[in-house]
Amino acid sequence: MANHYNFEQCLTKMEVKGKQLFGDHFSISPEDRPLIYKLLVWIIKDKPNAKKQGLDLHKGIMLTGPVGCGKTSLMKLLQYFLPREKRHSIKSCRDVSFEFIQDGYEVISRYSRQSFHYRHPKTYCFDDLGTENSLKYYGNDCNVMAEILLSRYDLFFSQRLITHLTTNLNSSEIEQIYGTRVRSRLREMFNLVSFSNESKDKRF
């Protein structure tokens, strides 16, 4: 890999950190290596290999796959290949929905227009898209994550605001839950990186 990164050394680092964070049972599955390679190419901004992998380094990552395949764990581990100030914050979509119940529409601004630190864009990884519910605030229905993603879409073009997602939804399910507009904008905002549908549940 470019920029003096060695893929095997990266995997070793991920396994060591994974055991620290998730327990001694953590290991990198051989079948996941191509997917992890693609994620590492994006995270270190390896331009030549990004082109070979069909990745746009100006877009975020949308990591999809079955329940329990390791999406959240990988997004947490990828942070350790970045300087602390550039690491993405991982936020559960369910937690965002609970914040909306408490704080209302200010939450949408919190994760869009307020996603800057001294004018530097703050990257969020919204974890488990689809596990939250459409909610009511003072009687008004709101699809909170749809509104956040639409707001971040505008900032993606105007301020280079990067977003990452994990989800076990497919494209038709995303359209059904969030609408055609959101599905269309996700194509423009994200590189789609997918686990195989046959990926095993690593929680057991």
pLDDT digits (tens, 9 = 90+) for 43-74: 999 999 999 999 999 999 999 999 889 999 99
- Region 78-106: mean pLDDT is 92
The answer, yes or no, to whether residue 13 has pLDDT greater than 50, is yes
Phi, psi of 30 (to 5 degrees): -55, -35
Q: What was the pLDDT predicted at 33?
A: 94
- Region 104-108: mean pLDDT is 92
- Region 142-163: mean pLDDT is 94
When comparing pLDDT for 199 and 71, which is higher?
Answer: 71
Measured CA to CA, the distance from residue 183 to residue 187 in angstroms comes to 7
Measured CA to CA, the distance from residue 110 to residue 122 in angstroms comes to 11
- How many CB atoms within 10 Å of residue 22? 16
- How many CB atoms within 10 Å of residue 5? 15
When comparing pLDDT for 136 and 131, which is higher?
Answer: 131
The answer, yes or no, to whether residue 204 has pLDDT greater than 70, is no
- The terminus-to-terminus CA distance of the chain in angstroms comes to 33
Q: What was the pLDDT predicted at 193?
A: 97
Q: Which residues contact 64 (CB under 8 A, 6 or more apart)?
A: 71, 166, 167, 168, 169, 170, 192, 193, 194, 195
Measured CA to CA, the distance from residue 148 to residue 132 in angstroms comes to 13
Q: What was the pLDDT predicted at 134?
A: 61
Residue whose C-alpha is closest to residue 81's, from 13, 18, 162: 13
When comparing pLDDT for 136 and 59, which is higher?
Answer: 59
- Whole-number percent of the chain with pLDDT over 90: 75
Stated as kind and residue range, the H or E segment containing 127 is strand 124-129
- Region 68-96: mean pLDDT is 94
Q: What was the pLDDT predicted at 142?
A: 80
